[in-house]
Structure 1
Amino acid sequence: MAVFLISILVVMLSHINGDNTAVPSLLPCAEVETQTPHVLLGSSATASCHIRENCPLTKGQEFHVKWYLNNLPILGNLSSNHSSQTYVAFIRSFTDAQGYLECHVCLEYDCQVVGGLQIRGGYPPEAPQNLSCLTNFTLPETVTCLWSPGHDTHLPTNYTFHTKRKHLSSVEMSAYTMPSGVHSITLLRPSFYLFSKMEVYVEAVNALGQATSQSLLYVPVESAKFDPPKILQMKPNTYGCLKFSWSLSKDQEWIYLRGLNVELHLHAINSEHSAKEKVILKKLNVHKDLETCGLLHGTEHQARIRIKYKQGRWSDWSNSAVGTTLEKAPTGRLDTWLKILEEETPNYYIIDMAWKPSKQFRANGKNILYFVFMVHQDTSKSKLCITSKDHCSFYINKHVQRVYLTVKNDAGAARPKAVPVLQTRALGSVSSMSVLPYSDRALLVQWEGPASPVLTGYVLEWRQLSANSSSLVSFHLLDANQSSALVSDGIEPYKPYEILLYTKYGKEIGSPHTDLAYSKQKAPSTAPTLIFREIWHSHAELFWNEIPLEQRNGIVRSYRIFYWEEQDGKVKVIESDQKKRRVVLRDLKPQAVYRAFIMVRTDGGSINGSFVTLQAGSVDAFSIILIAIPSCVGIILCLIIIISSSWLTKHTWLKIWPKVPDPANSSIRKWKSDKSLQDSNKNGQEPVLQFLSHFSLVDLLEKELETASDKTENWRRYSSTEEDYLPGGSQSSYPFSEEGSNAVPYATLVFSGPYRSQSSPPVYLRSDSTQPLLQEENLQSPSQYVNVCAQRVFFSTCQDVSEEQGEGLFFEGFPLLNSVDIKDFSCET
């Protein structure tokens, strides 16, 4: 074991010292060698392990040798010289950047390290690329050269920087060795001349080879990076031109160069063209003034410059300078939009007018004023408004057909533009319009225009809605063939915008199509507070105020109320109408405690309001009365209906409307005499009650009544008892018979006046019945089997006819039938 530890220690010491030759053993045992300690990655390699004769591990022992590379076994064999005990290892492909090769002596299953060495893999260096040098004029003056080393070699690579410069008739050469991994060098001023050519190149060397870069001919001043220049003065020269005076930095003022590259960046300040920056490149001598033209008139500009010489790098930007070009009268045209707001009086209009610069318009000055005026018939002018803004409102007479707009600055005024007063008519508008978010700061408006040959264009108007103040109106003038437009001026996310699209027909405009839109939406900033208006024992009414316009952040789509009883915990949801903003919570439990909150939703999200607590009211006396009265009325009505239905099923119903009597179709088909009923009663049979189904009321005049009385006496003389009609007990002589049962007798009441107001006793025309008339004086009560009908208003006797009575009674037995006005009342069973 001691020998094994000593062998490992020897191997470790050899690795630490980087010795690539055979490992010297403190105890002569083995020696490991290789011809290629640095191997090209992917190539093969060989190594040998020589076991000494006096090695204590192998002396007098049977052993064998094993090879390991980075703890992995590799192929090994015995050399031809067996007596020297030299063993060779063969590595087919070395792919590691660094490997440790070990030789092991094995006695049966016990193996021990007797030697080892380190092998490194890599690549030969590439020729350095992109060699460049830069001169720095800032003190101290230096030259810095850079290069690219190429791919990683995985081996230590040294770089040497070579310079060759001519000075008079001699050539000076210098070499600078750089540490491994450093790929740049900085030379101080004594090592180069500013205006002399210098040849430089870089050489790379490692264990597998070397490479040299291409030579670079370098003039230090031509590759110099200057300090930032400075602008001394900036002033107008002629119309649309500015002149710049500039110089190099203080440390470089001594340099005088021709053909210096100068780059000028120039942009207008506080102008609609300020986003457009003008770039000018020129070559000129140091200390020569720089002039540029074609600028906006009367416009303030900001400028800065930078410089370089030939292949040198651009310097940093100079200081900024501000200058203003000479003013000139405005040029170009303005786009205008005029509309009538309302009729203030029968003779005047309120006009709202807006304008904006077209692409060709140039203000050409700072102090810009806009004048709106009208011209009278005598060519005199009346000013309507003077403003520096892009809109104004004014009154005009209804007879005015056009107004004029002009713009002025300190240098003059532009040519006036005539603006027609467009009348709003009920003309065809766009059939459909949609506004969609195009980006966070833009809206896309699409529409379908009317099919009209006289359509001349569209006016697209938009403004931001605000509850505090009215925002400015922006507009676009569009052609008649357009069907979409992009709105981006002044558009901000989470802000509401009113979009209006007008159709133009010459000097008239149609009704606008209006829409509300957001470029981007999110949840409202706040939620409304629930307010209780009324609380009852079973319901409660809640309402809330509208969310302020600035805090909606989108179009409100719904209001939802969530409420629940604290003990039950079951949540109920009610969705409210967006315009009413009120709900009624129903089916509440008396004196129960409820909690509720509101949720407001837009297309961009939703927000919940704070919780509110309410307690339902108790049932008071007034509520009990309100509940009890309808309940009692309902119960009484039900009882009345039930009793009436029961009574109607068991009793006769009196029809109060007139009906023409038809004795042939009467329900009473037979009459029975009192005697027959009595006989049947005597025989122990229950008498069958017969009901009179018909009676008539007859109104007669006094003369007719007297005649009727005489005829009644005659009728009584011809009347006889039942036996007179039954001679010999035969039924054939009875005026009624079963065969003639369709003929129905009836009783007639005769009044001396209208029966409804009759005060004197009525006169009766008796039928052939032997039953005494009711309500006559000194008459006995009818028998128990006699039926009395119509007792509620009028009555007549209803007598049954037995089957034993004689033949039918003919209508000739009623002498007054043809002389009376019959008013019919029926009595049905």
Structure 2
Amino acid sequence: MATLGERWILSILLVHLQTGLAATGRPAPPSHLECFMPCDEKSCSPDIHCTWDPGPDPQITTNYSLHWEPTNSEQGHVTRPTSSSVIDRQHFNHGQLHVWVEAKNKHGSAKSRENVFNTADIIKPPPPNITGAMAGAEGWQEPLEIEWRSFCDELHLSMGTCDIRNRAEGNQVWLEHEGGYLHTYTLESPLPDTFYEFQVRCNCSEGLISDWSTSHRIRSAERAPVGKLDIWMDCGLLPASFDCSLTWKTLPLSQACGAIVGYKVKLFYNNSTWRLLNLSPAETRGLLLCNEKQCRLTSSLKDVSSVSASALNSRGATAPSHLAMQTQGKDEDVKTINLKMNEENLTVAWDLPSKPLAKLKEYVVQYKQVESRLGQGFDWVKVTNNQTTVFFKGHFIKHTPFQVSLFTISHDMTVRYLSSVIGYSLEGIPSSVPSFQALSIAATRVTLCWTAVPLSKQNGLIQNYQIGLGEKNVHTVRASPQTFTLKHLSPGQEYEVWIRAVTKAGPGAKATTTFKTESENYDLLKLILLPLLFMGLICAAIVCFCLVAENKMCPQVNLLFNKKVPDPRNSNIFRGMKHQINDPFGSISIPIPEPHPNISVLEVVKIQPDAVKSTPKETSDQEEQRDDAVTKECGRMDHSHGREEYSKMVDSDEERDREEDKDDCWSSSEEDQLTSGYEKHFMPTALEILDV
């Protein structure tokens, strides 16, 4: 018996032999030669029909001939060729025959292997006729049982055994059950609400087995759906968006147990209210959109705290699936996601947390095609809390970004976002940056800024940007931030700078901008003029403010800009001392009116510049007018020496001595020329005391 290695070598030699024959132009030898006498429901054909496989389609015209000869012949070996696949009954006798096929073209010929048989053993009955049990009123049958009728009796032969095969409708693979069956067959545990195809073939006590019968279709009974819906939410690109829509996967046939006629969705809101939705997948528009794999609720989940959903068929509904809305913000235990991606497969891996999470129930891994329509290029899978790898099979378009995200679901069904990463099945060259310009220009440097290439046009992960002056002076900068300062430039010169993005596939198209650096003289002029201009503005503001304070502001504010020092000449203390000096007996006969004087009221009077020029208004009190006139004259004289500020000091006896003070005001003008500024402001002079 040949070993596996020997059989492998022989097959290689056979292939080479056939290849060599084809190369020389000789035809390939025919194979799988079979001969039989076909029967119908009443009788069998007296002729022998043969079939064979001619092999690969020949490139040269090839003729086939059928040859046979009896094993025992009085005439010896007699060969009778025919150009058809039928051996006429008149050309052979009952007994044993040797049959083969020969292929011939202009380059040569080739023969098939001989088929040796007895003409009594090649009777082939017709396929049986299947008569399945009647289907129920709803179109299905339970259990799945078929019956059939063979035609051995009509051929005057006893009944043999039959083979059965079946498959669910749409499945390409048949499940075969060989021998041991006579008239009936029952399929145990079929899928609910599923069409099944059955075929039968039988043989009689003599002859060959029949061909397979025509397919017989039976629909299995429907049952209430089992399991739960796999519900999830599509929140767009994370973590920027939290405006989500509810989605779930359609149930497989083994769980649907029939045609799903609707879904029941319950929405619980943050304000403790809820809403029940009865949805039908038959609706092409409205709140629900479904395809073969997923269904989606078109309304937003804004202000929704949690959801539940179940599927329904005519026999019942699944248990509800519950899910709380995604928690805002990222989890502290951020995961690093590793991707292996091509156009057909995506493998995602991550690390387990440093410390076990008691509330963690499962992980959710999802992928989403960037800038796709809602529900397209989107899928997810849920795995246990100790699994760190998942596998997706799908169509991942090259040069197209896919965002892969990782989530956790706790035992209370709360969802928390962990991390995301962008992946490509195949990277390409990126597009040019949409905007590139000079932001700040100086004499020897410039600050450049640009807008990042949009994610949909990157065609790959941007590794860095290249900025260059010509082809030799090239700088490589990080992808973020989108600014760069170009130094060591010449003043007053025009430059053209380019930028391009770089991915794993290489650099993309260039974007350019031009600018002219400033001259050095202009920079020096700015350094000198700007501080001077700033100081001039400050001085002008101070002068204007002082003028406003001098002429228009209220007296309380005016005090801040006009210093007031009390004039000691107005004090009754000094007036008393004056009388004592002039009258030597004053100390005996005239008591000092203020042995312990207290300055009780300080009155500050501001003399307006126009007070002297204007004529005082007439009033009923003539004496008060005269006092005001004297005060104005005194103030005018003091103002010429800088003493307008020190107008007078008011105490308790000031009113009765007003007349005496009128003369003092006039006499003080001569003395002011001989005294210092401090004495003018604070000290009484000898003239003031003696009143000479």
TM-score range normalised by the length of the shorter chain = 0.3 to 0.5
* TM-score (norm. length: structure 1): 0.41
Q: Higher helix share goes to which structure?
A: 2
TM score, norm. by length of structure 2? 0.48
Bigger-Rg structure (1/2): 1
